[in-house]
Amino acid sequence: MERKTKIWLIVIFLLVVALRLYFAFQINGLDYDAYTVIRQVEHIKETGMPLFNDPLSYSGRTHVFSPVYHYFLASFTFLLPIDIVAKIIPNILATLTVLVVFFFALYFVKDEKLALLIAALSGIIPIFFDNTLNNASVYTAVVPLLLLTAYFFVLTHKDDKHVWKLLFSMVLLTFLHPSSLILMFCFLIYILLINLENFRKNYRETELVLFFLFFVFWANITIYKRALLAHGDLVLFQNIPVDIIAHSFKNITFLEAIYSVGVIPIIFGLIAIYIALFVSNSKSLMMVTSISLGMFVLLWFKLIGLDEGLMFLSMALMVLAAYSIGRVYERTKMIKLKHGHRYFISILLLISIVMFIPGALSSQHVAPSKADMSAFAWLKNNTANDSVVMVLPEEGSALSYFSNRKNVIDDDYLLIKNIDTRYNDVTLLYKDILLTNAIERLNYYSVDYIMLSEYNEKKTNTYDLAFADDSCVVQVYPSVQNDSSQLHTSSYLDEPNKISKNATENVVENNATETNTIENNATETNATETNTIETNSTKNINSTENTSAQQNIITTNVPSAAIKYVGPKIYKVNCRLLSNPKKAQP
C-alpha cells in the first residue's frame, strides 16, 4: 500500500470520528440504553469488580454478562470523566469498521482509490451510525471485530500465517459478546454452501470451523450457563418480552429498512450475492455472502434484534458491494463516455450523502431531559434509600444511576422470571383507571413511588395518572403550587368568562323587567303595591345572590382535563392492601 493511500485512510478515519463526535456532543447527555453500561463501568472504577449482584436493578437481581468491554471503558475513566469516555471511546471503536472495510475492499477490487471510497461510504451507513452514536453500545466494538475475524478467515485461504491472527480475534470476540455464536452460524452456512457448490475441498478451514464451533459453544455455555438453565432454548431471544420483539418488527416498513441500510449496499450487495451463488467460484466472496445470508435468516426468524441484525447486515452488504462496485467501475472505464468512471464515483458519493444527511439531522435519540434529571435528583434527596420506584423499562437503568434507587424493571431481561407479566404490568399501569387494580399491582412489586417522566408522557400520551388521589397515590413532585407557568390550559378555560358575562347580562335584564312590573302595578292599592315591591325586591336579591354563587362555581370548578402539567411527576404510594399479597421476585 502506498504512503499516500495510508495518509488518505487516516484522514478518512479522522473525518468519520470527527463527524460522529460532532453529532454526539449535540445531544445533551447519553441515551437511556447507555446507563446499563455506565453503571458497570463506574462500579469497576470504584471497586475493580463488575456489578454482578445488583441491589437496584429489579429491586435486586444477578447480572450475567462478559465484562471485557466494560473493563476497557473503565481504563479510560482515570483520564476523562465517565460521560465523556462514553461518548468518545465507543465512537472511535465504531469508526474502526472503516479500516476493516477498506482492507476487505482492497482485497476484492485491487484498487486503493476505490477501496478508500468504499471505506468512506461505510462510515456513513445510517443504521450503524445512528445506533452506535450516543449509547456506549458494546456493538461499537463487536461489529468491527466480527468483520475483522471474517477478514482473517478469508486471508487464511491464501496464507497460513494469518491463522494466529484469526485465533486471536475469534477468542477476543467470544469473550467480548455472544455475537460469536452469530459468526459461527455464518461459518456453518459457508461450509454448507461450498459443499453444495462443489468447491475444492480445504480441510484446514473445515478444521478451523469445527474448532471454533466447540470453543465458542464451550465459552458461551460457561459464561451464560445460568441463563441457559433458567430459560432453556428461549435464551436465544435473550428473554426479551414478546411485546418488544413484536413491536420492533412492526414499527419499520420495508422502505424504512432499505433507507436504514442504504441504497448502495443493498443494490450492489445483492448483485454480489447473485454473482457469488451463480457466477463466481470465489470462496472469499462466498464467505461474506454467508454472513449476509446468516443475518437475513436470523432477522427472518426474529432470533436477533432488528437494529442489531440490520447493523451486521449493512456492513456485510457494504463489503459485498465493494466487489460489485469494482466490476462496474472497470466497465465504466471501457465505455465511450469520457470520464465515465468519474461520473460513476460521483453518483455513488451523491446518493450516499443524500441518504445520510436527512437521517443524521432528524435522528431521535432518547436521552433523559433536564427536567427528568431534576426529578431523579429529587428522588435521591427526598426518599428513603430502599425505596422502589416504578418507571418504564428503558428508563430503569437511568433511574438507578442518577437516583440510586431500586427500579421495578429495566432493559436487562436475562434471569428475570415472568418477564412478560412484569413488562405488561408496568406499561399498562400508566393507563390504569381503577385505583384498586393499580394498588394491587403496586403492592405486588412493593412500589413506593411512581415516576411519570417527560419521555413517558410523550411516548404514551399520558400526562397524569387517572387513579391518583389525595390519600392513596399522591403527587409529591412537583408540588401543586409550583411551576404554574408550565400549566398548559385548553380553550375550555375561556368558557367560565363567557358564562359569567352571560349571567351578568341576565341579571341586568331581570332587574329591568322587574322595575317595569313595579311601574305597571303603581295604580294598585298601596298595601298591594307595597307587598309586590317587597316580594319583587326579595326575588331580586335572591336572584342576584344565586347568580353570584353560580359565577363562583363556574369559575372555580374547571375540569381537571383542561389543565395539564407538562413535565415529570412523582407520586407517592401510601396505601397497602389489607390482605398480604405475594411479593414479586426477580
* Whether residues 495 and 398 fall in one domain: no
CB distance 376 to 398 below 8 Å: yes
Greatest alpha-carbon span in the chain: 130
DSSP strand pairing (449-452 vs 388-390) = parallel
CB distance 29 to 366 below 8 Å: no
* Whether residues 244 and 147 fall in one domain: yes
HSE (side-chain half, CA atoms, 13 Å) at 575: 19
CATH number of the domain at 397, please.
3.40.50
C-alpha cell at 125: 451507513
* Whether residues 347 and 388 fall in one domain: no
CB atoms under 10 Å from CB of 527, counted, come to 8
In a domain, 557, yes or no: yes
The crossing angle, in degrees rounded to 10, of helices 370-382 and 396-403 is 60
Q: How far apart are CA 422 and CA 136, in angstroms?
A: 27
In a domain, 42, yes or no: no
In a domain, 59, yes or no: no
pLDDT at 334: 82
Nearest to 410 by CA among 584, 241, 214: 241
Q: Which residue has the cell 436475562?
A: 414
In a domain, 55, yes or no: no
In a domain, 45, yes or no: no
* Whether residues 143 and 218 fall in one domain: yes
Containing H/E element for 262? none
pLDDT at 565: 63
Q: How far apart are CA 564 and CA 235, in angstroms?
A: 43
Q: How far apart are CA 511 and CA 499, in angstroms?
A: 19
* Whether residues 478 and 509 fall in one domain: no
| Alpha helix stretches (DSSP H) within 335-463 | 340-362, 370-382, 396-403, 419-429, 435-444, 454-460
* Whether residues 400 and 501 fall in one domain: no
Nearest to 195 by CA among 212, 180, 209: 209
* Whether residues 83 and 204 fall in one domain: yes
HSE (side-chain half, CA atoms, 13 Å) at 126: 25
pLDDT at 324: 95
* Whether residues 226 and 344 fall in one domain: yes
| Alpha helix stretches (DSSP H) within 335-395 | 340-362, 370-382
* Whether residues 334 and 457 fall in one domain: no
Q: Which residue has the cell 443493498?
A: 266
CB distance 226 to 415 below 8 Å: yes
Indicate the pTM of the whole model: 0.84
Domain containing residue 519 = 491-561
C-alpha cell at 315: 456492513
Q: How far apart are CA 410 and CA 392, in angstroms?
A: 7
Q: Which residue has the cell 475469534?
A: 170
* Whether residues 228 and 282 fall in one domain: yes
Among 297, 327, 362, the domain-final residue is 362
In a domain, 585, yes or no: no
3-state secondary structure 106-134: HHHHCCHHHHHHHHHHHCCCHHHHHHCCC
Nearest to 147 by CA among 94, 88, 190: 94
In a domain, 495, yes or no: yes
In a domain, 53, yes or no: no
* Whether residues 401 and 435 fall in one domain: yes
Tell me the pLDDT of the chain (586 aa) as tens digits.
789 999 999 999 999 999 999 999 999 999 999 999 999 999 999 999 999 999 999 999 999 999 999 999 999 999 999 999 999 999 999 999 999 999 999 999 999 999 999 999 999 999 999 999 999 999 999 999 999 999 999 999 888 889 999 999 999 999 999 999 999 999 999 999 998 888 887 788 889 999 999 999 999 999 999 999 999 877 888 899 999 988 888 778 888 888 899 999 999 999 999 999 999 889 999 999 999 999 999 999 888 989 999 999 999 999 999 999 999 998 888 887 777 888 899 999 999 998 888 777 666 788 999 999 999 999 999 999 999 999 999 999 999 999 999 999 999 999 999 999 999 999 999 999 999 999 999 999 999 999 999 999 999 899 999 999 989 999 999 875 544 434 443 333 333 333 334 433 443 344 444 444 434 443 333 334 434 334 343 444 344 444 443 333 333 334 444 445 678 999 999 988 755 556 666 6
Q: How many domains does the chain have?
A: 3
At a CB cut-off of 8 Å and minimum separation 6, what does 181 contact? Answer: 216, 217, 220
* Whether residues 95 and 146 fall in one domain: yes
Q: Which residue has the cell 437503568?
A: 397
Nearest to 218 by CA among 166, 163, 178: 178
- Residue 571, φ and ψ in degrees, nearest 5: -120, 140
Q: How far apart are CA 465 and CA 475, in angstroms?
A: 9
